[in-house]
Structure 1
Amino acid sequence: MIKKGLIVITLLVSVSVFSQRTVSSPYSFFGVGEEFKPRTIEQASMGGLGAAYNSLYQINLTNPAAAAYLRYSTYTFGLLNNDLTIDDGTKKQSTTTTNLNYFTIGFPLGTKAGAHFGLQPVSAVGYSLVNNVFDADETLIERTLFKGNGGLNRIYGSFGIFAAKNLSLGVELDFVFGNVENSIRTQRSGVQLATKNLETANVRGGAIKLGVQYKKELKDKLMLDVGASLKLSNTFNANGREYLYSLAVGINDSEAPRDTVYNVASRGKLKNPLEAIIGVGLGKESKWYLGAEYEQQDAIVAEGYFDTVSDAYKFGNSNRISIGGFYIPNVNAINGYWKRIKYSAGVRFEDTGLLVNGSSTSNTFTSIKDFGMSFGLSLPLGKGLSNINLGFEYGKRGTTSNGLIQENYFNVRVGLSLNDIWFIKRRID
């Protein structure tokens, strides 16, 4: 009930005033919120590559088959700072948020296998928008506050093993959990109490991902990498409640609930179809790398709490194309620190699979697209393989046509990757 009215107000030009903006994006209203792709800073800095990429000391969050290549124990985490500007064609507003991007630990298992596990956000819901209605004398007669918060996280474990020479296979299991909340609060001039429609949901789910990678040495020490990953279809289940009640609003926006009109249980399912990623890369070990990959997924199917039967939005097929790579001037340079730095860059073209009708007078749905350009630095710590990772990304999502909103964003990612040799029996001569 709440969703049909909420999205029409949240994203359309008819919203007269953007007075508040909190975590994430207005587009985070849909589904389980704004999605965070499983990528490390190194991957994000190459446009999101990961299907074919592998490393002896870097974790790959896209393809579990890459875990077989790990030869050093690795502890890594990343932070994401997002500067976002919202533009509806007439007004702009900016906000900044910071959150944990991922936390993971990986290690080799003998000489033919490896594993890593960790914690990562899956999605975030966070918007706070106000719509004011004035009469002919410009007197405020109604104010509606649209608010959402929450999100999902995942605990995962990946395992990779060499099934044959230069051929690795991998599997990843994860468990997704979190809470989502959306609300509409309306106050009218001359009416003592406001009304609030609140929806809460506890979301749980899980997924299995399979991966394969093949590496072949060509002439002049060139290495060809080919890889693919398949995330099997999975379902997020939501259990929650929907409330409608009256309340008194204090001067500091405090709320004092009064009479409850209804309080009912709600359930829903978000069915995620098979997600396929295929990639190819070419390069020289610890020198340079250039790769490309393609990702595709059919339309998400929503039921109950997540139901998208609406004239305002629906889900469609999604896809992504990424191109990127890195360059290291001289990884073994004794003098000249900047020669040992890894410089990364990439571009990403993405169709998010979200279609929105921003007009109340037509039935035209606009596909929400996302474009990003990225650049990164991996700064060596001492003479070992540990790094401080920095990533920068500028992008655009959405459009101001068809009564919608365009988001311009600048992401700064900061992380640490510590590498060592664990589980080695010491010998005394």
Structure 2
Amino acid sequence: MLFRNYQWLLSGLCGMLLLPLLFCLPSEAQNSPYSMFGLGEVNNGQEILNRAMGGVSEAYSDGQTINFINPASYSELQLTTFDVGLDLGSEKISDNQNNTYNSTFGTLSYLQFGVPLKKGGGWGLTFGLTPLTKMNYNIQQNDSLKGSSEPVSYLYQGHGGSYQAFIGTGFRVKGFRFGVNAGYLFGSTQRSTQAVYPQDSIGLYNSNITNRTSFGGFFWNAGVQVHVKLSKSTALELGASGGTNVKLPASTDYLAETFYYTGDPSNQAPQNLDTVSYQKGASGKINYPGHYGFGFLLHDNKHWTVGADYQVSKWSDYSYFGQKDSLQNSSTLRMGAQYVPNMSPFAKSYWSIVAYRIGFYTGTDYLHLNGRSLNTYAFSFGAGFPIRNFSRGTQYTTINTSFEIGKRGTQSDPLSSNFFRFSVGFTLDDIWFIKRKYQ
């Protein structure tokens, strides 16, 4: 009885928390200098379950989980699945001049829906929406003009981001699984640079340059997984996935203007003086990078699982209207494990059916600042809490959590940070499209 009360208590908490978070959670980082580059700071689009295992996902498949990283996993869907992930976190960012920035963020990580197309698994369909990048920065730099003592204050601002809406399918042929995702990648960004001369003594005009860009185009990626049975209860899973570069048609509006203040700039909006240049709807291309990864999992009927991945994103191929940015190829090695004490849905102890997870990842970041590469690493841990577990074959609902603590760069790099991220995922599974015989 106590076990069932645990489940219904968690189920109620899930319902009370989910809807307010979906509608009230901010979708952008708060003043992150990292988001100045490319299309913004790259989101972690992995399933929350996998993040707690260090992000190990290439070979992962589960009948009640949607693993977007490798669409071959869709073939194992057993139940109609609704999956939503949320991120919360903070970051303390430092530059090599001992200046610090505190950044907090909260965002919808993914929204996914999956349906098995074949009874008992073997063919599945998934669609959803995933944020890819987020941009939100507001940075002031005080300096002086070259060859002059005239002070100047630069203000760099930007906001926006990119998203992908996708549909995917995966199917199984004996021990092989194949899958593909296709969809639309879209978004918009706005960047502005202001130069303000607070003690103008030589007749200089304050200036502002703004670029507003919108973009969108189709993408695809594919994956494969192989199941190798080693013994009656033990199996090896192999997986690989990848996607090509995407050339996104883009349109940008460019504005250069001068402005002035009639009083104190700290409590007054700027007044337009003159439009120096204006160009509307200039067309071009944004080259969004491809990626690939591969990995393995070893498990004992999912009672325990260990695995590792290696993933690469080709950010050196990124370009904006033909211009490169301070980006490089990123590479990440991921390792993780999961342990479930009791796989039976009729276990007497609630805590014996909780999935406990731990992981680690390390690699080279996609940012390349002032000729220096940023190294990154993080430890992760979390758990999967069943909140409705009547039967894994009919209804199964879980709250997955992940905690990540890590570091990006070192004190000698142009930017470095210590970060903490908490992620929570709500996975609701049920049988649909089957007529009930008894009410």
Question: Which category describes the TM-score, using the shorter chain as reference length?
Answer: 0.7 to 0.9
Amino acid corresponding to residue 130 of structure 1 in structure 2: Q
Residues 185 and 194, structure 1, Cα contact 8 Å, conserved in 2: yes
Residues 24 and 124, structure 1, Cα contact 8 Å, conserved in 2: no
Range that drifts further, 146-155 or 245-254: 245-254
Write the distance in 2 (CA, Å) between the matches of 1:76 and 1:355: 34
Q: Does 1:264 align with 2:279?
A: yes
| CA 92–297 in structure 1, closer or farther in 2 if over 3 Å, else same | closer
Range that drifts further, 23-32 or 294-303: 294-303
Range that drifts further, 86-95 or 217-226: 86-95
How big is the shift at 1:142? 2.6
SS, match of residue 300 in structure 1:
helix
Amino acid corresponding to residue 64 of structure 2 in structure 1: Y
| CA 87–108 in structure 1, closer or farther in 2 if over 3 Å, else same | same
- Of 287, 293, 314, the residue aligned with 2:309 is 293
What is the number of residues matched between the two proteins?
Answer: 393
How big is the shift at 1:22? 6.0
Query: TM-score if structure 2 supplies the norm length?
Result: 0.83
| CA 300–206 in structure 1, closer or farther in 2 if over 3 Å, else same | farther
Residues 31 and 306, structure 1, Cα contact 8 Å, conserved in 2: no
1:324 is aligned to: 336
1:276 is aligned to: 292
1:95 is aligned to: 103
How big is the shift at 1:206? 2.4
Amino acid corresponding to residue 348 of structure 2 in structure 1: N
How big is the shift at 1:291? 0.8
How big is the shift at 1:267? 4.1
Q: Does 1:394 align with 2:394?
A: no
Write the distance in 2 (CA, Å) between the matches of 1:375 and 1:253: 48
Write the distance in 2 (CA, Å) between the matches of 1:212 and 1:345: 25
How big is the shift at 1:123? 0.3
| CA 253–88 in structure 1, closer or farther in 2 if over 3 Å, else same | farther
Write the distance in 2 (CA, Å) between the matches of 1:252 and 1:113: 61
1:6 is aligned to: none
Write the distance in 2 (CA, Å) between the matches of 1:276 and 1:98: 27
Query: TM-score if structure 1 supplies the norm length?
Result: 0.85
SS, match of residue 401 in structure 1:
coil
Write the distance in 1 (CA, Å) between the matches of 2:163 and 2:364: 23
Write the distance in 1 (CA, Å) between the matches of 2:356 and 2:268: 48
Where does 1:10-409 land on structure 2 (aligned, <5 Å)? 23=30, 25-89=32-96, 90-111=98-119, 112-133=122-143, 141-162=151-172, 164-191=173-200, 194-249=206-261, 251-252=266-267, 254-265=269-280, 266-305=282-321, 307-308=323-324, 314-332=326-344, 334-357=347-370, 365-384=371-390, 385-402=396-413, 404-409=414-419
How big is the shift at 1:220? 4.4
Residues 245 and 262, structure 1, Cα contact 8 Å, conserved in 2: yes
How big is the shift at 1:173? 0.5
How big is the shift at 1:110? 1.1
| CA 326–24 in structure 1, closer or farther in 2 if over 3 Å, else same | farther
| CA 153–115 in structure 1, closer or farther in 2 if over 3 Å, else same | same
Amino acid corresponding to residue 291 of structure 1 in structure 2: G
How big is the shift at 1:134? 7.3
2:18 is aligned to: none
Range that drifts further, 31-40 or 64-73: 31-40
SS, match of residue 126 in structure 2:
strand
The C-alpha deviation readout for 1:285-311, integer Å capped at 9, x for no partner, is 231111111112445334454612xxx
Give aligned-pair identity as a percent: 28
Residues 268 and 303, structure 1, Cα contact 8 Å, conserved in 2: no
**Structure 2 unmatched runs, 5+:** 1-27, 391-395
How big is the shift at 1:428? 6.0
The C-alpha deviation readout for 1:199-231, integer Å capped at 9, x for no partner, is 111021221111111112212410110111121
Write the distance in 2 (CA, Å) between the matches of 1:70 and 1:338: 25
Write the distance in 2 (CA, Å) between the matches of 1:172 and 1:207: 8
| CA 218–42 in structure 1, closer or farther in 2 if over 3 Å, else same | same
Residues 270 and 300, structure 1, Cα contact 8 Å, conserved in 2: no
Write the distance in 2 (CA, Å) between the matches of 1:315 and 1:205: 21
Write the distance in 2 (CA, Å) between the matches of 1:300 and 1:210: 21
Write the distance in 2 (CA, Å) between the matches of 1:22 and 1:161: 37
How big is the shift at 1:56? 0.7
